[in-house]
């Protein structure tokens, strides 16, 4: 089925599920066939696990390797009232994990015995030598890492030589040799048997805290699931139906805390208030598109400590003030990003060689803001459809961020040039590196040799998958409630899309501040249902002319009128 609104977009119906299983689900739940098809296809014989996951789906923390050793060491620190230094990474996952451990450990130790450091982008991910010196100079007894540490063998060895123990909590793929820590708690370890290998960094930190509280006979800190949910969604870990259903349970429970005005983070609720987000309507989309970018703005255009302080404050006025600082940072980030992109496009024009011909975008700017290199690279990939390598030249060392296109593994490209690089890391679609300034021409020449000629047409976008056909008569409150039971949505658990065939449209109108949204009714036979189509106002002539089209939609709800409505995604030809 070809899109009538999006050039080149096609849609296809998913393969039908086992009909006997789908029918059994339909009868057992008393649900519509379209919803039964989704459950049967996504869950198979374990389809019940998809519905309303809660704490019952959390795996025992002690099932993770080295968890017992970690708990032993932290219990000793608590009983001896030792000084504990938490180091978290500077992104939302690391910030929320650091907040969870700070709040959790501060409740167990005397005031002032728990300190937190969140990394800085200028120093890169993980433990820095500056952090190690601080831990030694300030005579800490124990370091606990969050969302980092598994690749910091040298730094952890220096801490050990100084008599400071380290407990690593991380979720990045470990190197062949683990760091010399007291414990390395990481579900990605090759020898790990923990069911959910895809916990976010904050999820691993939360598991550690739960294990410590259980050992000490204290109530488990479920009130912190608001922070755990925030970091889990921001880090885009799978929310699927296997062992990763634990991630869905974390997010769902966290969202329920936020909606009820509870949870450990007054600051998170304060930021949502500043952004005009109804806490009762919090979703993975509002986290991913509105909340997380504001928190990340602190490490891109300001001080990441501000985001940490916001997440841990207990004062309402301070939460409001820190939220406004983050919004200022985000405005600065937007301005800096646009300025960098203007410079980048001008440099591309001056070269006279199109990115398509060059096979890549490779740009170097002196003292470019390292916090926005990746954002700018992503924007240029979207514009030119080739890999983008954007580099900030410092006094002696340059740092770069790379984004790629389908079919080109940018991390493998960097690995092939590792003799030129000081450091590098990432994955096939996004990576980063540092390099001595004098080696930049060599890197550009070599990458050009790899990438020229590989930039043909961008790979064809695969068809979008539709979960099932639905009739307008099915789109009632029961259908909407059933679909909501599958939330929260995210990687591995996308919001299901459905198809209504042979439709017409009526009562079309433009809405929104700039008349950019489209609303109206979808009609099929003698039935009709209202719809909203965000940012599709320009397509009103196509819908007015449609006589027998198909509608691709998500199940939605109109809070203003308290009724089910469609969130229209596309209109397709059925011929």
DSSP 370-412: GGGHHHHHHHHHHHHSS-EEEEEE-SSEEEEEEE--TT--HHH
3-state secondary structure of 106: helix
What is the phi/psi pair of residue 28, to 5°? -70, -40
Say what the pLDDT of residue 319 is: 96
- What is the average per-residue pLDDT within 404-416? 88
Spell out the CATH class of 11-26+467-572: mainly beta
pLDDT over 70 percentage in the chain: 98
- Chain centroid offset of residue 49 CA: 23
pLDDT digits (tens, 9 = 90+) for 130-153: 999 999 999 999 999 999 999 899
Sequence-distant (≥ 6) Cβ neighbours of residue 85 within 8 angstroms: 115, 116, 117, 134, 135, 138, 140, 142, 143, 144
Q: DSSP letter at 463?
A: P
- What is the average per-residue pLDDT within 252-275? 95
pLDDT band at 301 (very low <50, low <70, confident <90, very high): confident
Is residue 327 over pLDDT 90?
yes
pLDDT over 90 percentage in the chain: 70
Is residue 459 over pLDDT 60?
no
- Separation CA 299–CA 75 (nearest Å): 33
- Chain centroid offset of residue 124 CA: 19
pLDDT digits (tens, 9 = 90+) for 73-101: 999 999 999 999 999 999 999 999 999 99
- Separation CA 329–CA 339 (nearest Å): 15
- Separation CA 90–CA 201 (nearest Å): 12
Is residue 364 over pLDDT 90?
yes
The CB-side HSE value for 95 (13 A sphere, CA atoms) comes to 30
Say what the pLDDT of residue 385 is: 86
DSSP code per residue over 178-228:
--S-SEEE-TT-TT---S-TT--HHHHHHHHHHHHHHHTT----GGGHHHH
For 93, the enclosing helix (H) or strand (E) is helix 92-106
- What is the average per-residue pLDDT within 497-508? 93
- Separation CA 18–CA 45 (nearest Å): 10
Which tokens in the block code for residue 128?
A: 């820095």
Residue with the bigger pLDDT between 575 and 436: it is 436
- The domain 61-321 is classified under which CATH number: 2.40.110.10, 3.90.1640.30, 3.40.50.1240, 2.30.40.10? 3.90.1640.30
Residue with the bigger pLDDT between 559 and 345: it is 345
- Separation CA 426–CA 450 (nearest Å): 19
pLDDT band at 120 (very low <50, low <70, confident <90, very high): confident
Long-range CB pairs of 243-246 (<8 Å, 24+ gap) are 243/59, 243/195, 243/196, 243/197, 244/196, 244/198, 244/492, 245/49, 245/50, 245/53, 245/57, 246/53, 246/57, 246/58, 246/59, 246/195, 246/196, 246/199, 246/203
81: left (phi over 0), alpha (psi -120 to 50) or beta: left
- Separation CA 558–CA 488 (nearest Å): 19
Domain 353-451: assigned CATH number: 3.10.310.30
- Separation CA 504–CA 544 (nearest Å): 8
Contact 308, 87 (CB under 8 A): no
**Domain range list for the chain:** 11-26+467-572, 61-321, 353-451
- What is the average per-residue pLDDT within 53-69? 94
What is the phi/psi pair of residue 158, to 5°? -65, -40
3-state secondary structure of 7: coil
Say what the pLDDT of residue 457 is: 46
Contact 288, 269 (CB under 8 A): no
Sequence-distant (≥ 6) Cβ neighbours of residue 164 within 8 angstroms: 135, 136, 140, 141, 142, 143
The CB-side HSE value for 248 (13 A sphere, CA atoms) comes to 26
Is residue 453 over pLDDT 70?
no
- Separation CA 254–CA 273 (nearest Å): 17
- Separation CA 136–CA 330 (nearest Å): 35
- What is the average per-residue pLDDT within 254-271? 95
- CA torsion sign for 348, 353, 359, 364 is negative
* Selection from 349, 366, 367 nearest residue 358 by Cα: 349
- Separation CA 377–CA 351 (nearest Å): 18
What is the phi/psi pair of residue 114, to 5°? -120, 125
- What is the average per-residue pLDDT within 439-443? 95
**Number of residues written out for the chain:** 575
- What is the average per-residue pLDDT within 178-194? 96
Is residue 455 over pLDDT 70?
no
For 271, the enclosing helix (H) or strand (E) is helix 266-274
Least confident range of 328-337, 369-378, 458-467: 458-467
pLDDT band at 175 (very low <50, low <70, confident <90, very high): confident
């Amino acid at each position: 089925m070809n899109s009538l609104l999006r050039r080149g977009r096609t849609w296809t119906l998913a393969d039908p599920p086992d009909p006997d299983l789908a029918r059994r689900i339909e009868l057992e739940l008393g649900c519509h066939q379209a919803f039964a098809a989704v459950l049967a296809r996504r869950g198979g014989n374990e389809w019940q696990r998809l519905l309303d996951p809660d704490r019952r789906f959390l795996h025992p923390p002690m099932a993770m390797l080295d968890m017992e050793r970690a708990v032993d060491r932290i219990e000793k620190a608590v009983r001896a009232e030792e000084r504990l230094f938490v180091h978290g990474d500077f992104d939302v996952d690391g910030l929320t994990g650091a907040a969870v451990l700070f709040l959790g450990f501060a409740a167990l130790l005397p005031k002032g015995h728990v300190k937190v450091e969140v990394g800085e982008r200028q120093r890169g991910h993980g433990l820095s030598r500056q952090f190690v010196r601080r831990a030694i100079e300030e005579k800490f007894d124990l370091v606990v890492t969050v969302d980092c540490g598994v690749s910091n063998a040298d730094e952890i060895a220096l801490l050990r030589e100084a008599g400071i123990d380290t407990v690593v909590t991380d979720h990045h793929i470990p190197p062949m040799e683990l760091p010399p820590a007291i414990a390395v708690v990481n579900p990605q370890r090759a020898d790990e048997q923990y069911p959910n290998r895809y916990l976010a960094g904050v999820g691993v930190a939360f598991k550690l805290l739960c294990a410590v509280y259980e050992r000490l006979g204290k109530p488990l800190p479920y009130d912190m699931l608001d922070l755990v949910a925030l970091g889990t969604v921001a880090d885009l870990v799978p929310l699927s139906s296997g062992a990763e259903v634990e991630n869905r349970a974390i997010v769902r429970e966290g969202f329920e805390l936020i909606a009820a005005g509870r949870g450990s983070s007054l600051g998170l609720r304060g930021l949502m208030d500043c952004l005009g987000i109804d806490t009762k309507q919090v979703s993975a989309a509002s986290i991913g598109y509105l909340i997380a970018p504001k928190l990340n703005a602190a490490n891109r255009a300001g001080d990441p400590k501000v985001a940490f302080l916001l997440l841990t404050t207990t004062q309402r006025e301070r939460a409001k003030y820190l939220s406004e600082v983050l919004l200022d940072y985000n405005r600065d980030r937007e301005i800096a990003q646009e300025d960098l992109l203007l410079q980048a496009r001008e440099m591309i024009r001056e070269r006279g060689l199109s990115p398509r011909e060059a096979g890549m975008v490779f740009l170097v700017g002196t003292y470019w803001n390292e916090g926005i290199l990746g954002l700018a690279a992503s924007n240029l990939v979207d514009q030119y459809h080739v890999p983008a390598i954007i580099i900030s030249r410092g006094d002696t060392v340059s740092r770069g961020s790379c984004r790629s296109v389908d079919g080109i593994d940018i991390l493998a490209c960097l690995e092939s040039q590792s003799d030129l690089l000081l450091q590098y890391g990432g994955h096939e679609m996004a990576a980063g590196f540092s390099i001595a300034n004098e080696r930049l021409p060599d890197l550009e020449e070599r990458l050009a040799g790899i990438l020229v000629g590989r930039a043909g047409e961008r790979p064809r976008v695969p068809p979008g998958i539709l979960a099932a056909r639905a009739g307008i008569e099915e789109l009632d409150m029961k259908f909407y409630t059933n679909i909501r039971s599958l939330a929260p949505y995210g990687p591995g658990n996308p919001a299901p899309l459905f198809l209504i065939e042979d439709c017409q449209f009526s009562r079309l109108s433009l809405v929104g501040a700039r008349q950019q949204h489209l609303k109206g009714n979808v009609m099929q036979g003698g039935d009709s249902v209202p719809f909203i189509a965000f940012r599709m106002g320009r397509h009103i002539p196509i819908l007015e002319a449609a006589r027998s089209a198909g509608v691709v939609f998500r199940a939605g709800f109109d809070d203003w009128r308290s009724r089910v409505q469609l969130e229209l995604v596309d209109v397709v030809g059925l011929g």
